[in-house]
Structure 1
Amino acid sequence: MSCPGCGKPTQKTFRPFCSKRCADVDLGRWMNGDYALPSQDPDDEERVAEELAQQITRPH
């Protein structure tokens, strides 16, 4: 099995990654929403539109 981050062989300690660095990079991607799937739920779209409208009117 190879590391999904860089393709190097995995290490037992960090499986499925090769190192703590690759595991941390992957965690960062999850936390930033890079792996998120777009929602088709109309309620989600309305909520996002409301949040964007609030951000535009909110003073910095």
Structure 2
Amino acid sequence: MTSKTKTCPICKKPRQAQFAPFCSSRCRDRDLAQWFGDGYAVPGRPAMPEEIAGEIIRDDRD
């Protein structure tokens, strides 16, 4: 049985436990910047502002 080393999803270098699932703080920060900059997206239609407001109101009542 061959064990496959998992790699960093950003640069494909071996992962480091300290920064898992990344190899370094640099790659971890690059991934975070992708999320903040809308580099990643969840498939589906954009939410309407009224739907978002309805969710906020519902959460406050719980």
- State the TM-score bracket (shorter-chain normalisation): 0.5 to 0.7
In structure 2, the gaps of 5 or more residues are 1-5, 50-62
Give, in whole Å, the separation in 2 of the partners of 1:18 and 1:42.
34
Which letter maps to 1:7? K
Please say if 1:32 is aligned against 2:32: no
Matched residues, number: 44
**TM-score calculated relative to the size of structure 1:** 0.63
**Counterpart amino acid of 2:24?**
S
Using the aligned pairs only, state the percent identity: 45
Aligned-residue RMSD, C-alpha: 1.9
C-alpha distance in 2 between matches for 1:15 and 1:42: 32
Q: TM-score, normalising length from structure 2? A: 0.61
Runs of 4+ in 1 over 3 A off after TM superposition: none
- Tell whether 2:10 aligns with 1:5: yes
More helix by share: 1
Supply the distance in 2 between the matched residues of 1:8 and 1:34 (Cα, whole angstroms).
21
Residue 36 (structure 1) shift: 1.7
